[in-house]
Structure 1
């Protein structure tokens, strides 16, 4: 099985249209159709159902789509990590650490400064991403290490160390009647008629349904809350980022949030091991 064939198949399986897939791949449609047919013959499995109504995945095709995506991600990750492992101008390969923008900011700052003080520390490039993107960065090799958060992110296939476990708070506009209360329940927060909870994008990029505003990052969310258009339930550590136009109140029955540092299990980087050691010590 060749990566070229997998790329062809994944493009068709995702587009469910040979014309769009060919355009995406930068080729014409006839050779793409022939390549997929040859691929099916060699595998001995029908991957796509073709009809006048369009293209649909067979059960075998659905399996190969999941496996093929993972295989292509692994190939891309191997290429990126190999290039990054080559010595840089300073003579040392660096590390890329990815974290969700606005999350665990204090912990991230402490880690970067503490690690920089370690003997033989290498440069650490910090990338801040959108909701749920850290996992993809780590899987496809754009990052060597990531901050992930349970129960929101998937840690399947990664090695991890727990860094913190924290409760959650409601973030409300300053002056809201609930801000004088010592604590709240989830029912209090979800029942606010004029302050709906935000809608975050799913990990696959799709948009969730609901009445709340769509948000992409914490700074956008904070602005909406300050304007009286939304409220939110976020980890306790968000207190350090809240300005005077917002207020926080503990939510007693909200699930706890676990912050982990995660990395590929096959990594043998001494620099990465030292970074993880520094993070767990903090």
Structure 2
């Protein structure tokens, strides 16, 4: 299967409209329609249900959309990694949020340096939620990232777990209590996930400083890893234990298609911390 029909298919699947997809691709609608029909004939399945006014994905189409995105990302990533490997001193690029995993970095790199497959490591600092896409795009080779995150096209192993702490405005009535439960925070069970990922907070802060400022202003309450709260005391923020909050899980993630011995060595070094090996 070639990449062009896959790109055409993804455009139609995302737009659910052949005219808009054709405009996005810079081609006309008739050849796009023919390309999709040819792809369906080659696969032997219908990818779309078409009517006069509607285009919808079939179940096989939904499966192909997920796999095609991974495949196209992998193709682009391969080119980026090849260009990086052509540098005078190829390095393994590790992405992490400065306040999420940095405290373990020295220990991980010390263990990694003893592995025969180790290469020099360049650290890429990023914001919340950027690591998975950087991995899929080939910008980085491996990442330290807190769960939950989008695992599409990625493998991951747990590095460390720790309690989550509630960050609440210092003047809030809950700040008078030493321990809280999730129910005390007024977080609906179905919405708990977004409180575990600061990037998904309703005001979408771009960094921890902005998020904590919003907490101080009474704009939100957030669940954060204990190690993060220990490093960032704020006079306007009260940190309180939440006895039934799910643990914060720090993972090391890498592309599923990676066959890099250096990447595997770094994963071994990181997971060795968890096992105490």
**Length-normalised TM-score, structure 1:** 0.79
Mapping for residues 265-276 of structure 1, pairs under 5 Å: 267-276=258-267
**Length-normalised TM-score, structure 2:** 0.80
Change (3 A) 1:231 1:145: same
- Alignment match, 1:169: 165
1:63-115 CA-partner distances (Å, limit 9, x unpaired): 222222222122222222222222x2xx221222223464334335x468758
The alignment partner of 1:37 has SS state of helix
Cα contact 2:167–2:240 (8 A) shared by 1: yes
**Cα shift at 1:229:** 1.5
Mapping for residues 124-273 of structure 1, pairs under 5 Å: 124-131=122-129, 133-150=130-147, 152-155=148-151, 158-190=154-186, 213-217=202-206, 218-239=208-229, 240-264=231-255, 267-273=258-264
Change (3 A) 1:265 1:8: closer
Distance in 1, Cα, partners of 2:141 & 2:133 = 11
**Cα shift at 1:201:** 11
Distance in 2, Cα, partners of 1:104 & 1:223 = 22
Distance in 2, Cα, partners of 1:168 & 1:100 = 17
Distance in 2, Cα, partners of 1:279 & 1:142 = 20
Distance in 1, Cα, partners of 2:224 & 2:114 = 32
The alignment partner of 1:13 has SS state of helix
Cα contact 1:198–1:213 (8 A) shared by 2: no
**Cα shift at 1:189:** 1.5
Alignment gaps of 5+ in structure 2:
none
Distance in 1, Cα, partners of 2:52 & 2:31 = 20
Equivalent pairs, count: 266
Change (3 A) 1:28 1:237: same
Alignment gaps of 5+ in structure 1:
none
RMSD: 3.4
Cα contact 1:94–1:125 (8 A) shared by 2: no
Distance in 1, Cα, partners of 2:233 & 2:109 = 23
Distance in 2, Cα, partners of 1:80 & 1:8 = 22
The alignment partner of 1:163 has SS state of strand
Distance in 2, Cα, partners of 1:143 & 1:222 = 28
**Richer in helix (by share):** 2
**2:90 maps to 1:93:** yes
Cα contact 2:196–2:222 (8 A) shared by 1: no
Distance in 2, Cα, partners of 1:253 & 1:247 = 18
**Cα shift at 1:260:** 1.6
Distance in 1, Cα, partners of 2:58 & 2:158 = 40
- Alignment match, 2:22: 22
**Cα shift at 1:116:** 10
Cα contact 1:198–1:230 (8 A) shared by 2: no
**2:34 maps to 1:34:** yes
Cα contact 2:159–2:271 (8 A) shared by 1: yes
**Cα shift at 1:275:** 3.7
